[in-house]
Amino acid sequence: MHRPLHVLVLRRDDHKHDSLGAVFLGAVSEASEVRQYVERYLGPAFLVRKVDHEGPALRVAVECSRFPTESQNLTRIARSLVNNGRNRAAAASFREALKLDPMNTEALKGQAALCALAGELPEAQDHWIRAGEIRGYDGEILRGLAAIALRSDRHGSAMQYLQDALVVNPNDDEAREMLEELRRQSELRFTARSDDEEG
């Protein structure tokens, strides 16, 4: 077990609808109170050492107990269970992996995908966001968030996530296809609405 300091980046855009939104809106500004809000959000697995408010983000230095090797082994097992269609057992393995290493982003991504599949959209979103806060927002995370936004009828958010995915990786064909399809659907909706108004 080792406990090095790790910096998480919590973005304002991901916390408009939870308690951290109060920090970004300036309703909570006292340093000790901000720290309490961050500690509540991250949960008991993380020991918050420092919080810096930098514009649209909080940079949070944390420590946590980690058993990365054992956690990665469980994540590999969980992925093979997913491949064999054993999603419930896979979800349990991902949960165990995260107990051993709360910063295991592969386990967080796996759990997010399973939650989305089960229709547990808020939980899926939380897992995708936590993975992004730990290691940065890659294409897989941004596409996952876009898919959840689409299923929640938040088309503007979905477009933004997909555009961000293309900034991260301009060769992300999956994000490009999703974005083009979304734009086509928007145009069709706009055309249908115009026709209705004229009729």
Domain chopping of the chain, boundaries: 6-63, 66-119, 137-199
What integer pLDDT is reported at residue 192 of this predicted model? 65
CA atoms within 13 A on the CB side of 150: 18
Q: What is the pLDDT of residues 66-92, one digit of tens each?
A: 999 999 999 999 999 999 999 999 999
Please state, rounded to an integer, the average pLDDT across all residues of the chain: 92
What integer pLDDT is reported at residue 199 of this predicted model? 52
What integer pLDDT is reported at residue 64 of this predicted model? 94
What integer pLDDT is reported at residue 168 of this predicted model? 94
3-class SS at 60?
Answer: strand
What integer pLDDT is reported at residue 185 of this predicted model? 85
What integer pLDDT is reported at residue 196 of this predicted model? 62
Q: What is the pLDDT of residues 12-64, one digit of tens each?
A: 999 988 999 999 999 999 999 999 999 999 999 999 999 999 889 999 999 99
> Which tokens sit at 112?
């997010």
The C-alpha atoms of residue 89 and residue 108 are separated, in whole angstroms, by 15
In 2-137, which residue ranges form alpha helices assigned H by DSSP? 21-24, 31-42, 68-83, 87-100, 105-117, 121-135
Decide if pLDDT at 166 tops 90: yes
Decide if pLDDT at 1 tops 80: no
The C-alpha atoms of residue 27 and residue 21 are separated, in whole angstroms, by 9
What integer pLDDT is reported at residue 4 of this predicted model? 77
> Which tokens sit at 166?
């293309």
What integer pLDDT is reported at residue 197 of this predicted model? 61
- Rounded to an integer, the average pLDDT of 90-111 is 97
Say how many C-beta atoms besides its own lie within 10 A of residue 175's C-beta. 24
- The DSSP output letter for 57 is E
The C-alpha atoms of residue 20 and residue 13 are separated, in whole angstroms, by 10
Cα→Cα distances 22→9, 12, 49, 61, 92, Å: 17, 10, 21, 20, 33
- Strand order, beta sheet including 47-54: 6-11, 57-63, 47-54
Do the beta carbons of residue 142 and residue 168 sit within 8 Å? yes
137-157 burial, b if ≥16 CB within 10 A, otherwise e? bbbbbbbbbbbbbbeeeebeb
- Rounded to an integer, the average pLDDT of 119-142 is 96
